[in-house]
Structure 1
Amino acid sequence: MDPVYSALPPDDAAHVQRLSRLMYESRENCRDVLNALGAGSADELLARIAHAELPEHPAYEHYLAARILADTHEIARSEVARILKEANAQ
Structure 2
Amino acid sequence: MNPIFDAIPPEQALELEQIARLIYEARENRRKVLAAIGANDEAELLARIAAGAVDEHPGYEHYLAARILADTHEAARQVVGERLREINR
Would you call these one fold, judging by a TM-score over 0.5?
yes
> Normalised by the shorter chain, which TM-score bucket?
over 0.9
In structure 2, list runs of 5 or more residues that go unmatched.
none
AA aligned opposite 2:25: E
Q: Distance in 1 between matches of 2:75 and 2:33?
A: 19
TM-score by length of 2: 0.93
The 8 Å contact of residues 46 and 60 in structure 1, kept in 2 or not, is answered as yes
Q: Distance in 2 between matches of 1:82 and 1:5?
A: 16
Match in the other structure for 2:45: 45
TM-score by length of 1: 0.92
Match in the other structure for 1:6: 6
Q: Deviations over 1:5-47 (max 9, x none)?
A: 1232211110000001110011000000001111111111111
Aligned residues: 89
Indicate the percent of aligned positions where both proteins have the same amino acid: 56
The alignment yields a C-alpha RMSD, in angstroms, of: 1.1
Q: Which runs of 4+ in 1 moved over 6 A?
A: none
